Structure 1
Amino acid sequence: MAERTFELPDLGEGIAEGELVSWTVQPGERVEEDQVIAEVETDKALVEVPSPYDGTVVELHAAEGEMVPVDSVIVTFDVDGAEPAADTDAPSQDGAEETDRNSAAQSAAAKPDEDEADGEASSAPSESAAAESPGGRVFASPSTRSLARELGVDLDAVAGSGPGGRVSAADVRAAADSAADEPDEEPPEPRSVSGGEPAVSERDAAGDAEPTPELVESDGAARDRTLAMPATRRRAAEAGVDINDVPASEARDGEAFVTPADVEAYVESAAAATVDESAASTEATSSPAAAEEGGAVAGAADAAGTADAEATPSTGGEASGERVPYKGVRRAIGEQMARSKYTAPHVSHHDRLDAAELVELREELAAVAAEEDVKLTYLPFVVKAVTAALEQFPYLNSSLDETADEIVLHDEYNVGIAVATDAGLMVPVVKHADRKGLKQLAVEIDDLATRARNRELSPDEMQGGTFTITNIGAIGGEYSSPIINHPEAAILAMGPVEKRPWVVDDEVVARETMTLSMSVDHRLVDGAEAAQFSNRIKELLSDTTRLLLE
């Protein structure tokens, strides 16, 4: 038997970390391969992490509630039948002997030590192993693949020095150095905001000609890897900022962790630097007397500002009340909503429809569906009406590719259903909703909603949506201004079906009605088109014969 460490596996595209919610094993406990050892919560779902080995748990390296970066060691096993390392002085390659166990964020392979020196491993065996990889697949950890993308290295062309042809970070760096034909010790050029000057740290601005290596690394100019939430990475991309340039205000297990506030501060500082350069140029052309007078005024203003700051009580002190960590699903929801409102100019549209026929039809069909243990609510009817209307108004089923400056008119109708859970709002997606009947929609929606509340959804079941529906009527209230589930173009909120005053044949009567609220991205959808789309939904829900023909 020999000890093997196990790292938190890749939890999905763009996910850099997860919260270790609970351990299902303890030190000294026997485990079998594929037995669930931990539950990890990402900003998308609760993921079960299986054991990659048969053996005994030696040590748990993370505490419950801790945020754990992907690829960091979380547990050590005493593995059955494993041979101990022959040379303890050699660079660590724990777990590299195993073949790649990663499969859709459910298993992982430990990567070779990324700090090993270039050239320590023989290149001849690695070339042979790489050539023998099944299906031409390149074996590499997620962090190594990320490094290859950053350095512009094609992994297919890199000879892996690890067992089985596994490509390590050292192999990637060696390939990058070879392609550039530069010495390894030559420092990389500082990255910069698109179109601007290289990033300069506060210490550089204060006058240090050569910042320390530690400062350069923390400020991003020499970082090999940056931890950040997916929404933070998207915001940086929208602003034309390389995430590795952004100074990190936090560190997770010794690695830089960039927050949304870091990105905003970096963007603002870049804009301020441009303004300062322009102001400096103008000041240089002014008279010495004016410059002296301006300096005196600025000095007085600085002094006044300092006095005000000293006299004004700080609002950043501790406040009374309970403090709840802002992380996990709640933080993901907050970042997604902020990004949506920050990015997409929202326009809201409110409407009301005569739902008398809809109420009658649902009651009739619900009785039949109940015989098959199917609960038929109003939501499947609305989904049918929405998908039919989307076919006529394709821009409501679109998204904006800002990188390519193109509007993507989706040819699939994948409807997200907002579900309120104890952990926050989740949006599972009904794929190809236009191809499904009322009963099938009812069964699938109920299943997705139940598993969302139990935190049993997979990340794939919450991705790929093209339009979202939220049901505020189930909770209360008539109208709302829902926030778009970015990058979708629109979201529809169902209000309650209630009796309200309604004019029928010139008489005011009590009538079953439903309210609708919709928000659209004004970059993609105009108000007139939103109103026409709403009118089509009203027409289908008010005249159920038309709806059943769709």
Structure 2
Amino acid sequence: MVREFKLPDVGEGVAEGELVSWLVEEGDTVSEDQPVAEVETDKALVEVPAPVNGTVRELRAEAGEMVPVGTVIITFDVEGEPVEDASEDEETESEAERSSEPPGVDEPGDGDGDEAGETTADADRDTEHAGDPGATGGETDEPATPAGRVFAPPRVRRLAREEGLSLDEIRGSGPGGRITEADVYAAAEEGSGESAVAASTDAVDAGEETGEPAQPVDSSEPRGEPATDLQTRTERQPLESAPEAADRDRTLAAPATRRLAREEGVDLDAVPVTEERDGEAFVTPEAVREYAEAQRRAQEADAAAVSAGAGGRAETEAESGQREERIPYRGVRKAIGDQMERSKYSAPHVTHFDDVDVTELVETRTRLKERAEAQGIRLTYMPFVMKAVVAALKEYPLLNSQLDEEAEEIVQKNYYNVGVAVATEAGLMVPVVENVDRKGLLQIASEMNELIQKAKDRSIALEEMQGGTFTITNVGGIGGTYATPIINHPEVGILALGSIEEKPRVVDGSEAPRASDDASGETTSKEIVPRHVLPLSLSFDHRVLDGAIAARFTNTLAEYLRDPELLLLE
């Protein structure tokens, strides 16, 4: 029996996830609850467990692919149950299951897939360039797509959305009528770009007949005037025009090799091969890299020729392109950006700055640090600040609230869940320590340290980053002083801590006795001495509270930080 496993809903509001890596391969034996894949959502990185004991039958998505929740990503042969033929699985596949990466054409003989058993699902590239979206490069027509069913991998669906196209209006050229990226581009250019596509095709054909590298024609340029824009030429130069390119209808390659080909911008059907599997051409990663490098060298030579005729402009553009790198903007990074944008443009931000003498706090923490370490707990200044923040929030509850815009109500929270912003390799995460008002310093420190480590390891659970009522971020950890932090929506306040530094401060005689006479004849004592000073930056939502309340809150917070013994009363 074949068990199909769909990408689960790994968190509230998560619609899709990026399949970061497979932890198993086809043919591997797995046990129930064994991690089989790592999936990154816009919330966190999670491991997907196997639902059964058995053998991995087929991996239906590739690493790096965005997969909608509910899509079948892997199938298993269940232990102790008869193995079904792969053709039966193909016939019973549902529309949702077919929305993942197409498995390709069945291999001769054994119906079970192996690592190298995948075949390309893309249409013949020359046919696509010629503008015939219905052809697949074979002699026989592919079966028509059943009515009401659209077959396309997630990346193609996303591309169609970006182009503002409906998949129902696009005719697929892949096996079984599957829609490819080329089909989407062709549909997007239809009408306005047909002449350009035809001109490029003519150029390709001419290049094949003469043996010379074909030069694509830009229909936007006046006839009779050659294009000199290097970027246009290099981006639109088809790989098939290279003399060393192969020309196959299908190619075997492992999923990792296919991913490498996409990253290098290489057509697998054009890569020369020296290996075969079951009589079919088999492409290795080394072959892809060699072919991609050959293409780059050819393009560099072409760029040099263009530069000579364009006064060096092309050379400047080529050098600029080599210094640039495009990093995918998605997953946690995009979620952070969306959250910051939503908060910044929905809540009118105001930032109040102040600083506080924390010399007594530094001394207190120094005395307690060794005792905390004896219990295996690292005691930083943050637990003291969290307790002081909660004490100030109790006096000014508007800072511990949320604006319900639909109901037009301010919701004051009677619980105190404090988030601590943590910089990780994936971006900023905010673990939340719950009920800070009910916990002692060591318990807060222990829980906070554990959550921070889990955030850095990307093992933190989604629920451990939800439910916060106020957030603290520490810019002083990297030497910062003041900041204008963006509120962690839907909260209404966030506090940024600067770096604690020694600065000159004027203190009274009880701290630094030095007698002198003032104008009235009374004896006073003042002294300029070095003191430990902590900068504070409080950003708040001006819709919910005014600057006066924010200033009073900061003054109260400073009072607790200046004299940490007051926290014993909380």
Whether 1:509 and 2:529 are equivalent positions in the alignment is: yes
1:253 and 1:85 map into 2 onto residues whose CA distance is 36
- Quick one: distance in 2 between partners of 1:251 and 1:367? 62
2:64 is the counterpart of 1:65: yes
2:486 counterpart of 1:483: yes
2:5 corresponds to: 6
Residue of structure 2 aligned with 1:497, choices 500, 504, 511: 500
> Per-residue displacement from partner, 1:344-388 (whole Å, max 9, x unpaired)?
110000111111111111111112111112111100000000011
Q: Does 1:540 align with 2:560?
A: yes
Post-superposition Cα deviations, 1:468-501, rounded to whole Å, max 9, x if no partner, equal: 0001111112100001111100000111111011
Contact 2:60 2:72 in 1 (8 A): yes
Aligned-pair distance for 1:18? 0.9
Q: Which residue of 2 aligns with 1:352?
A: 355
Task: Summarize the alignment of residues 29-108 of structure 1 with structure 2, pairs less than 5 Å apart.
Answer: 29-82=28-81
8 Å contact kept, 1:91–1:113: no
Instruction: Kindly state the Cα deviation for residue 340 of structure 1 after the two structures are TM-superposed.
Output: 0.8
Tell me how far apart the structure 1 counterparts of residues 165 and 17 of structure 2 sit (CA, whole Å): 11
Structure 1 unaligned runs (5+)?
95-111, 117-216, 218-222, 229-246, 257-313
1:427 aligns to 2:430 (yes or no): yes
Cα separation, partners in 2 of 1:428 and 1:403, compared to 1, 3 Å: same
Question: Do the aligned partners of residues 469 and 54 (structure 1) sit closer, same or farther apart at CA in structure 2, a change above 3 Å counting?
Answer: same
> What is the one-letter code of the residue matched to 1:429?
V
Q: Between Structure 1 and Structure 2, whose CA radius of gyration is higher?
A: 2
Which residue of 500, 518, 526 corresponds with 2:538? Answer: 518
Q: Give the TM-score, by structure 1 length.
A: 0.59
Counterparts of 2:393 and 2:480, CA distance in 1 = 26
1:25 — aligned with what? 24
CA distance in 2, matches of 1:250, 1:332: 22
SS at match of 2:554: helix
> 2 CA distance for matches of 1:352 and 1:69?
48
- Structure 2: distance between partners of 1:39 and 1:89: 29
For the residue of structure 1 that corresponds to 2:337, the secondary structure is helix
In 2 relative to 1, CA 504–251 (structure 1 residues): closer, same or farther, beyond 3 Å? same
Residues 77 and 83, structure 2, Cα contact 8 Å, conserved in 1: no
Q: CA deviation at 1:436?
A: 0.8
Tell me the TM-score normalised to structure 2 length: 0.57
Amino acid at match of 2:50: S
Shift of 1:81: 3.7
In the alignment, the residues of structure 1 paired with residue 564 and residue 329 of structure 2 have an alpha-carbon distance, to the nearest angstrom, of 45
Q: Secondary structure at the match of 1:507?
A: strand
Q: For residue 437 of structure 2, what is the amino acid of its counterpart? A: D
Equivalent residues of 1:93, 1:113 under 8 A apart: no
- Find out whether 1:248 has 2:161 as its counterpart: yes
Q: Does 1:415 align with 2:414?
A: no
Taking only the aligned residue pairs, the percentage that are identical comes to 55
Q: Which ranges in structure 2 are unaligned for 5 or more consecutive residues?
A: 99-147, 170-230, 232-316, 509-525
Does the 8 Å contact 1:92/1:113 carry over to 2? no
Q: Give the aligned CA root-mean-square deviation in angstroms.
A: 3.6
Note closer, same or farther for the CA distance 1:374–1:251 as it changes in structure 2 (3 Å cut). Answer: farther
Matched, 1:449 2:362: no
Query: Structure 2 CA distance, aligned partners of 1:30 and 1:335?
Result: 40
Question: Structure 2: which amino acid aligns with 1:441?
Answer: I
Detail structure 1 runs of 4+ shifted over 4 Å in the superposition: 82-86, 88-94, 112-116, 250-256, 317-320
User: Within 5 Å, which residues of 2 pair with 1:292-331?
Assistant: 320-331=323-334
- 1:264-318 residue CA offsets vs partner (Å, 9 max, x unmatched): xxxxxxxxxxxxxxxxxxxxxxxxxxxxxxxxxxxxxxxxxxxxxxxxxx9xx99
Distance 1:29 1:253 in 2: 39
User: How far apart, in 1, do the equivalents of 2:95 and 2:528 lie?
Assistant: 77
Aligned counterparts of 1:367 and 1:21: Cα–Cα separation in 2: 42
Residues 38 and 90 (structure 1), Cα distance of their counterparts in 2 relative to 1, 3 Å cut: closer
Change (3 A) 1:90 1:447: closer
Distance 1:76 1:543, change over 3 A: same
Counterparts of 1:444 and 1:378 in 2: how far apart (Å)?
Answer: 14
Alignment match of 2:441 (pick from 431, 438, 442): 438
